Structure 1
Amino acid sequence: MLRRALAELVSDGEDVNAVTVAALTERAGLTRRTFYTHYRDIPDFIEQVEANILDEIRARIARVAAADLASLYRNIEELEPAPGSVELLAYLKRDGAVIGALLGPGGDPAFVQRIMDIARDTVADRMKTGIFPGVLGAFFDYYLAYVVAAEMGIVQRWFARGLRETPETMARIMTVAAFVRPGDLYGKPIDINVPEYGMKLMGLNLFGPLDDATDDADIKEDFNG
């Protein structure tokens, strides 16, 4: 009841940081004594609500992250979503009232960042599997930030549009979105040899010293042969 009341208050235009115990309990039809039996204050209530949601999201992102490129390519060819993605989006929609409130304009920006941090930490190791060493380091770090922020943006836009599309439709869109290049939308794909480009950037010393675990000789040997 308190979660529903929070969602209603924020959806009505109240900023989540301005919600009071009095307003929350009145909207929920509960007493302040009931609230304080379970929570210290509003920040503690928000923290517990978000922690519960993040635990659910973390478990579902882990299933999505377990997919390898070969399976993703097969799914895209067959117009199927990435494994686990429908379950993740179905959960977001099922708990959509409070999640949408937290993700929206009056919500908690820190909550959005925490979701992205979970996604980044969960998929990072899988994305490094089989990758060319020359694109690790800063190049990979920024690429991963780009992918995670883009997917988060799609989710926020889905909520802003009122969750019109089904989780199945959104899962298909998000599965292929990371592989779309701007030129693809205009029939003019731009083919870039990313490992070679990464090597050129490193040759310009744009990123500073290499990781201690990798040196120029190792990368050039891998790239050339």
Structure 2
Amino acid sequence: MTIYKKEDPRSIRSKEMIKNAVFELLAENHSVSDLTIKKITTKANLNRTTFYLHYQDIQDLLAQIADELLNSLSEKITALTHTKDLSEKQKLTQMLDNLYAHRIYLLRLFSMDDFEEQLFGMLKHLVETRRDNSHTDLPEDYVTVEIKTASLVGIIMWWIRNGLQYSSEYIAKQISLLYRG
């Protein structure tokens, strides 16, 4: 029998303070490579010992933040794939709205090694689920899941890096037009 320990509220609060400090530093135009434990702990009003109670180093912290962010986005996207009362364009718009809400952090996290690969995996699952739910036989020469996913990731990355003047609704419409043909 496995016994689960409830995490100490102080530990939860410390982790949140550290993560919020990272987000604030990233929002102040610091790059991921500029982050130091000293900057993070100073911003969080915590000491280095507290940092090391929760994380091995900055890479461990960033990996955990990226995982949490991707898991949160994945949960929202999964919920959207099961929603029956929205059109495909509305679902895509809501997914893009979720990405837009996290744009500052996504922009910084794109520079991390595995982040783009993890985003690719999450969106590939979305494309596969959408195809499985369509219940139509696709022609043999139809665009592969990987190619479609790569183009979607590329569009999203471009939008977050360079095209935020366009609304998520506009980008969803453009993606719909692109995949219609």
TM-score by length of 1: 0.58
Q: Does the 8 Å CA contact 1:93/1:167 hold for their aligned counterparts?
A: yes
AA at the equivalent of 1:171: A
Residue 96, structure 1, aligned to residue 97, structure 2: no
Identity of aligned residues (%): 20
1:13-24 alignment, distance < 5 Å: 13-15=31-33, 19-24=35-40
1:25 equivalent among 23, 35, 41? 41
Q: Does the 8 Å CA contact 2:81/2:129 hold for their aligned counterparts?
A: no
**Unaligned runs of at least 5 residues, structure 1:** 73-81, 181-225
Q: Does the 8 Å CA contact 1:65/1:123 hold for their aligned counterparts?
A: no
RMSD of equivalent CA atoms: 2.9
Q: Does the 8 Å CA contact 1:116/1:152 hold for their aligned counterparts?
A: yes
Q: Does the 8 Å CA contact 2:100/2:168 hold for their aligned counterparts?
A: yes
* Distance verdict in 2 for CA 1:46–1:99, change over 3 Å: same
4+ aligned runs moved over 6 Å, structure 1? none
Q: Does the 8 Å CA contact 1:116/1:148 hold for their aligned counterparts?
A: yes
Residue 43, structure 1, aligned to residue 59, structure 2: yes
Q: Does the 8 Å CA contact 1:25/1:35 hold for their aligned counterparts?
A: yes
What does the per-residue CA deviation read over 1:153-207, in whole Å, with 9 as the maximum and x for residues that have no partner?
A: 1111111216222222222222222224xxxxxxxxxxxxxxxxxxxxxxxxxxx
* Distance verdict in 2 for CA 1:2–1:162, change over 3 Å: farther
SS in 2 for 1:59: helix
What does the per-residue CA deviation read over 1:66-93, in whole Å, with 9 as the maximum and x for residues that have no partner?
A: 589xx55xxxxxxxxx132222222222
1:32-111 alignment, distance < 5 Å: 32-65=48-81, 72=88, 82-103=89-110, 107-111=111-115
C-alpha separation between the residues in 1 aligned to 2:32 and 2:123? 28
* Distance verdict in 2 for CA 1:124–1:14, change over 3 Å: closer
Which residue of structure 2 lines up, in the alignment, with residue 170 of structure 1? Answer: 171
Which residue of structure 2 lines up, in the alignment, with residue 127 of structure 1? Answer: 131
1:113-124 alignment, distance < 5 Å: 113-124=117-128
AA at the equivalent of 1:120: K
What does the per-residue CA deviation read over 1:40-97, in whole Å, with 9 as the maximum and x for residues that have no partner?
A: 32222112111111112212333554589xx55xxxxxxxxx1322222222222221
AA at the equivalent of 1:97: I
Which residue of structure 1 lines up, in the alignment, with residue 180 of structure 2? Answer: 179
C-alpha separation between the residues in 2 aligned to 1:89 and 1:13? 23
Shift of 1:28: 4.9
Q: How many residues align?
A: 158
TM-score by length of 2: 0.70
**Unaligned runs of at least 5 residues, structure 2:** 1-19
Which residue of structure 2 lines up, in the alignment, with residue 147 of structure 1? Answer: 148
What does the per-residue CA deviation read over 1:111-138, in whole Å, with 9 as the maximum and x for residues that have no partner?
A: 1111111111233143143224x62xxx
